[in-house]
């Protein structure tokens, strides 16, 4: 079996020449690709798959193996998934059902690749582009004493949900350490807003939270004596009248 050379993998027929390092190289630890970057990284790998196998042969000093289950060349798998910033050109042989490796739970988050990729795909509404939110009352912290309307709160929650990983990275940059693990679950700690979004908190300013996610909403406010659940329930009742 002859693998094509670098010269053979040059773009053909007007194919886009991809040079962006966020597409062609491995990203720094804990950085992930956007859906568009992931699409381009997959295409880049697809166009250079034979070269990626040849690099493996050079590293290991042996020919790319055959999968005994199929009698064909083994699949080329990325040890660090492309979605998680993996190098498109760094692959290892993989054998058997191609879906199997995507059903193994991540040791940190407990999620499978299928669950994570499905969640990322679900962020973008079907049949159209994601709404671009620029309203400062949605994306920024509100002045002290101001609260969000039910509609503003809904949009602010969605804004945070779409950027949760970025919010965690901002915390890591502020604190100079990786986002912690919740010892009770063995997964990444929850991202909690010190000032609740309903009360005007910054959607992108979070702190790690541990244990039952409902516990923090049962603590009475030192001024009003009400819990978050009581306050939120009162707001919902008022808005529906």
Say how many domains are in the chain. 2
Tell which of 55, 88, 120 closes a domain. 120
Average pLDDT, the chain: 79
H or E segment and range at residue 208: strand 207-209
Task: Please check whether residue 107 lies inside any domain of the structure.
Answer: yes
**Are the CB atoms for 52 and 15 separated by under 8 Å?**
no
Q: Helices in the chain by DSSP H: which ranges?
A: 21-24, 35-47, 49-60, 113-123, 136-139, 150-162, 164-175, 228-240
- pLDDT tens sequence across 143-190: 998 999 999 999 999 999 999 999 999 998 898 888 999 888 888 899
- Say which range, 136-140, 165-169, 225-229, has the weakest mean pLDDT: 225-229
SS3 of residue 178 by DSSP: coil
- pLDDT tens sequence across 40-83: 999 999 999 999 999 999 999 999 999 888 889 999 999 888 98
- 154 and 73: one domain? no
Task: Please check whether residue 108 lies inside any domain of the structure.
Answer: yes
Residues 97 and 81: their CA atoms lie apart, in Å, by: 17
- 66 and 106: one domain? yes
Tell which of 78, 98, 120 closes a domain. 120
- pLDDT tens sequence across 118-136: 554 444 444 455 567 889 9
pLDDT score recorded for residue 69: 84
pLDDT score recorded for residue 49: 94
Tell which of 89, 120, 151 closes a domain. 120
- 148 and 235: one domain? yes
Evaluate if pTM is beyond 0.75: no
- Say which range, 18-32, 145-159, 171-185, 217-231, has the weakest mean pLDDT: 217-231
User: In which domain, by residue range, is 177 found?
Assistant: 134-240
- 99 and 43: one domain? yes
């Amino acid at each position: 079996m002859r693998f094509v050379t670098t010269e053979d993998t040059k773009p053909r027929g007007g194919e886009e020449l991809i040079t962006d390092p966020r597409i062609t190289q491995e990203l720094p630890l804990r950085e992930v690709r956007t859906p568009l970057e992931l699409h381009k990284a997959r295409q880049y790998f697809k166009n250079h798959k034979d070269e990626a196998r040849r690099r493996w042969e050079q590293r290991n000093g042996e020919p790319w193996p055959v999968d005994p289950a199929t009698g064909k060349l083994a699949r080329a798998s990325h040890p660090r998934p492309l979605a998680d910033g993996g190098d498109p050109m760094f692959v290892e042989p993989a054998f058997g059902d191609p879906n199997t490796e995507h059903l193994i739970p991540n040791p940190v988050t407990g999620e499978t690749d299928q669950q994570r990729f499905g969640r990322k795909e679900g962020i973008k509404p079907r049949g159209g582009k994601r709404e671009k939110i620029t309203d400062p009352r949605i994306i920024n912290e509100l002045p002290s004493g101001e609260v969000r309307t039910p509609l503003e709160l809904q949009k602010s929650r969605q804004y945070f949900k779409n950027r949760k990983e970025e919010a965690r990275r901002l915390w890591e940059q502020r604190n100079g350490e990786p986002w912690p693990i919740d010892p009770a679950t063995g997964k990444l700690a929850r991202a909690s807003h010190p000032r609740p979004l309903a009360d005007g908190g910054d959607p992108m300013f979070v702190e790690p939270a541990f244990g039952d996610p409902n516990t923090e909403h049962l603590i009475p406010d030192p001024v009003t004596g009400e819990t978050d659940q009581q306050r939120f329930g009162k707001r919902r009742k008022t808005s529906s009248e």
